[in-house]
Amino acid sequence: MKIGIFDPYLNTLSGGEKYMLTIATCLAQDNEVFIFWDISKEDEIKKTATRKLGLNLSRIKFTDNIFAKDVSTVSRLIESNKFDEIVYLSDGSIPMVGTKLYVHFQFPVEWVNGQDLKTKVKLSFVKKIFCNSKFTKKFIDNKLGVQSEILYPPIELHVKDLKKENVILHVGRFDLSDSGVNYKKQDVMVEAFKKMVDKGLKDWKLRLVLGVMSGDEEKLAKFEKSAQDYPVEFIVNISNEELWQHYSKAKIYWHATGYGEDLEIHPEKAEHFGITTVEAMGSGEVPVVFNAGGQREIIEDKINGFLCDSINDFILRTTELIQDKDLLNKMSKEAVKRSAAFSGDRFCSEVKNIIR
């Protein structure tokens, strides 16, 4: 079959893009797969995806983006009809196409009017909807009046046999809103760590591995200044190989997305799943994360990690792990066991059960 795939955020090449591009590689095993995007960017994106995400896209082709804003509905219907199926990552929109359409949601879209007649008509032409977590599914099903399926993200563990260090790790993109709000809450984590150091913590580092978009270097420099004179390391835009070295060396993993947000009104601001949390757990790190969103589906509180309701919780739980080596070792082993539920070869087989 000829299958087309569209991801409106492809240029970021973050966790969501790894999800969509892995779908592409899975389907390319038995089909001809195309990515709707700027064809002139094909080589650049493929090279970056290999370096940053560890994905081989050699069997994937790029084609003109029929979902670009300047493409008319009629043109989209005509061009889409040249494909047997299309897999579409939605930002809240549902396109009209002339072939089988599979729609994927990676976050709640509470701003969409699911009762709108136009939306209902568009949904009637969708063959299947699937989400990345139970958390996302709950909101999508309720908002759109559908019954979606769950396809947890692809997790491939590349753990290195390296000596563990006294490092608290965080991995995520550096993303500031127009008003200066840090989406992944790296600023909150830095302030929490500074408090720990001020209270006497020694011989530990906070290491932030960040994906930084071109043009955000000045914002990052300002952020780095906030951690001056503290043992905080900023590591930017590294390869997948380097990333796994950091995963393998760290002992504790921090993630605070959603902290300080009104998640009843804006559930999309929570962590929708938590790929990096699973990757860290697979490397033997004990996760200490904010208690919201998809993190609750990954972590069994006090067994293979800690779910925290406040920054004080972060500090107390992390201090507990640092001071109790037996607890740290026990929970590390449990974290590795838990990561197995989301890793391995299950993703491609599940993709082929959904998209067929």
pLDDT at 290: 98
In degrees, rounded to 5, the angle at the alpha carbon of residue 217 between the alpha carbons of residues 15 and 197 is 80
The average pLDDT across 13-30 equals 95
DSSP 8-state class, residue 39: G
Query: Which pLDDT value is given to residue 215?
Result: 86
Q: Which token pair is 269?
A: 């601001």
pLDDT the model gives residue 143: 96
Confidence of residue 356 (pLDDT cuts 50, 70, 90): confident
231: pLDDT confidence band, cut at 50, 70 and 90? very high
What is the fold, at CATH topology level, of the domain defined by 167-339? Rossmann fold (3.40.50)
By mean pLDDT, which of 20-24, 109-113, 344-348 is the weakest? Answer: 344-348
What's the CA gap between 195 and 205, in Å, rounded?
13
Q: DSSP label at 99?
A: S
Give the tens place of pLDDT for each residue, 43-57: 999 999 999 999 999
CATH architecture under which domain 2-151 falls: 3-Layer(aba) Sandwich (3.40)
In the sheet that 2-6 helps form, which strands lie side by side, from edge to edge?
60-63, 32-36, 2-6, 85-89, 100-105, 126-131, 149-150
What tokens were used for 318?
């992390």
Q: 3-state SS of the chain: helix, strand, coil percent to 5? A: 40, 20, 40
CA distance 128 to 354: 8
* Percent over 90 (pLDDT), the chain: 93
Give the mean pLDDT of the chain.
Answer: 95
Q: How many CB atoms lie within 10 A of CB 149?
A: 14
Q: Is the pLDDT of residue 180 over 90?
A: no
**Res 162 pLDDT > 80:** yes
**Entry pTM:** 0.92
Indicate the range of 96-110, 127-141, 188-202, 341-355 predicted with least confidence.
Answer: 341-355
Q: Report d(CA 55, CA 25) in Å as an integer.
A: 8
pLDDT at 177 over 80: no
Q: How confident is the model at residue 80 (pLDDT cuts 50, 70, 90)?
A: very high
Residue 355 has pLDDT above 90, yes or no: yes
Does the pLDDT at position 240 exceed 90?
yes
Please give the Cα distance from 145 to 350 (Å, whole number): 23
Of 219 and 32, the structure prediction assigns the larger pLDDT to 32
pLDDT at site 214: 87
Residue 345 pLDDT: 84
Beta bridge partners of 208: 170, 234
Q: State the greatest distance between any 2 C-alpha atoms of the chain, in Å, as a whole number.
A: 66
pLDDT of 176 > 90? The answer is no
Q: What is the pLDDT of residues 305-324, one digit of tens each?
A: 999 999 999 999 999 999 99
Percent of the chain with pLDDT over 70: 100
Statement: residue 179 has pLDDT above 80: no
* pLDDT exceeds 90 at position 194: yes
Q: In this structure, what token pair is assigned to residue 1?
A: 């079959």
Q: How many helices (H) and strands (E) does the chain have?
A: 13, 13
- pLDDT at position 330 is 98
Residue 226: pLDDT above 90?
yes
What is the pLDDT, as a whole number, of residue 239? 94
Q: What is the DSSP letter of 146?
A: -
The phi and psi torsions of 165 (rounded to 5 degrees) equal -120, 165
Same fold, 2-151 and 167-339: yes
Domain boundaries, given as residue ranges, for the chain: 2-151, 167-339
